[in-house]
Amino acid sequence: MDRLILLLLTFVFVNGEKYSPQIYNYLFKNTSYNKVIIPTINDNDTLALKITFLPRGISQFNEVNGQLSIAMGLDVRWIDGFLKWNPLKYGNVSHLVVPEDHVWTPIITLANPIDRIPVFPEDSFPVRLYAKGQVIWIKGGTVSVTCQPYVKFYPFDEHTCYAIFLTIDRIGNELRMDTGIRSAIYEKHGEWDIHSMKAYSSYFDVYSSCVFEIVVRRRSEFSILNTCVPIICLGILNACVFLIPPESGERVSFAMTVLLSFAVFMTIFSATLPKNSDPVPILCYILMIMMIESGIILILVIVGLRIFFKKENEQMPKFVSRIRRLSGLRSRIFRRDREPLTNGRIPNDEIPNQEQSPLTWERFRQHFDTACFCVSFGVYILLVVVYAMMVKMS
């Protein structure tokens, strides 16, 4: 039995090797095959070219420059009417492998390349021929295309990129391109994940084309730790400047340090984003508003220190007295609505008496710091909530 199996295998391989040169001579030497002419029997026929994408993963995505590099293979198939033979005459040999420069092959190019228009121009791949005229040509390498980034919701952004393939030597009525995609094992990228992929046929001017569409999503964990967390810390520190006792003399330096930190962080953050991004990331607006708020807080800190060093015998400004009278009137109206009256009047012991509780500069400074802290912290919380809602709605 072992000898029989060995004999059969020897017969198959020896006969395949024996008849391959004969098939090659029949196809290329004994005929007038021309690899320059498109392989259609009739001049008016349209050649159907099937391109199947074999993606492997993202090699590089530079959102600042708008460049995407994808490691992928192309399974290209067509029917060559001039490359057929009868397998029964050649030892049942049904296929033949030849170099790509021996047969007609389409000139596959990119419509949106970064540098080179041809696809894998420096690499040569063998072509597999079958007895019924089917030609299979598998190419592989890195495809680099331009991609318009969409960083509106950075660092929770997604980008849709396209790789448009066409044949510039043949127009649509001469060569029709059909496409598909075959699932493969994707190589993971450190910063980006492949969210979705699809392929479809289209037309690019007068050329038939196939489009490979890929949606990449940023892995936001690293950006959150290096971008969002520092912004949150700076925002909290920005409001806490009003909790520092003015006697320490550190308020102005603290507020100035936070303002400069926002400016430096804004510069670093802008360097990681494309200069011509449309639309501008929401986080840029949030960071700009926080930096403006930090500048306003620095001014309020200076005003608060001037109030702190006021002498008690100095006269209170008129607008402060008016605010106090308005607040006292509001308090009276509020109590009138909430508590029962005695003979239609408010009890004398509950009527705000400015002479019993005079407003001093120290008390005014305390109220000023409290109001500034509440407003600045409230604005910060509002900005964070607005950004979170906009990102969630996306």
Claim to verify: residue 211 and residue 197 sit in the same structural domain: yes
Burial of 162 (0-12, 13-18, 19+ CB in 10 A): middle
72's tokens: 């992928």
Position 322 in a domain: no
Name the domain boundary from 173, 195, 218: 218
Q: What is the CATH number of the domain that holds 120?
A: 2.70.170.10
Closest CA to 143 of 64, 61, 68: 68
Position 300 in a domain: yes
Claim to verify: residue 268 and residue 370 sit in the same structural domain: yes
Position 67 in a domain: yes
Position 343 in a domain: no
Claim to verify: residue 191 and residue 254 sit in the same structural domain: no
Which residue segment(s) compose the domain that 196 sits in? 2-218
123's tokens: 């690499």
Claim to verify: residue 227 and residue 173 sit in the same structural domain: no
Q: What is the CATH number of the domain that holds 273?
A: 1.20.58
Claim to verify: residue 141 and residue 231 sit in the same structural domain: no
Report the 10 Å Cβ neighbour count for 101: 9
Closest CA to 266 of 230, 213, 219, 304: 230
Claim to verify: residue 52 and residue 130 sit in the same structural domain: yes
Overall domain count for the chain: 2
Q: In which residue are the tokens 């892995």 written? A: 219
Closest CA to 258 of 276, 285, 231: 231
At 111, is the secondary structure helix, strand, or coil? coil
pLDDT for the residue numbered 81: 84
Claim to verify: residue 181 and residue 232 sit in the same structural domain: no
Position 336 in a domain: no
Name the domain boundary from 218, 238, 261: 218
CA angle 259, 261, 267 (to 5 degrees): 110
Name the domain boundary from 164, 199, 218: 218
Spatial separation of the C-alpha atoms in residues 197 and 162, rounded to whole Å: 10
Claim to verify: residue 10 and residue 23 sit in the same structural domain: yes
Position 352 in a domain: no
Residue 89 contacts residue 135 (beta carbons within 8 Å): no
Position 340 in a domain: no
Dihedral, CA atoms, 138, 139, 145, 149, nearest 10 degrees? 50
Query: Would you list the DSSP string of 245-312?
Result: -GGGS-HHHHHHHHHHHHHHHHHHHHHTS-TT-SSPPHHHHHHHHHHHHHHHHHHHHHHHHHHHT--T
Spatial separation of the C-alpha atoms in residues 78 and 203, rounded to whole Å: 19
Position 328 in a domain: no
Claim to verify: residue 293 and residue 242 sit in the same structural domain: yes
Closest CA to 237 of 268, 261, 219, 263: 261
Claim to verify: residue 41 and residue 102 sit in the same structural domain: yes
Claim to verify: residue 231 and residue 189 sit in the same structural domain: no
Reading the chain (394 residues) residue by residue, the pLDDT tens digits are: 444 333 333 333 344 455 677 887 877 776 677 888 888 888 788 888 999 998 888 888 888 888 898 888 899 999 988 888 888 887 888 888 888 888 888 888 888 888 877 787 777 888 899 988 899 999 888 888 988 888 888 888 888 999 999 888 888 788 888 998 887 666 777 788 888 889 998 888 888 889 999 999 888 888 888 888 888 888 888 888 888 888 887 888 888 988 888 888 888 877 777 766 677 888 888 888 888 888 898 898 888 887 777 766 666 666 666 655 555 444 444 444 445 544 445 455 544 444 445 666 677 778 888 888 899 899 889 988 888 888 877 6
Claim to verify: residue 197 and residue 259 sit in the same structural domain: no
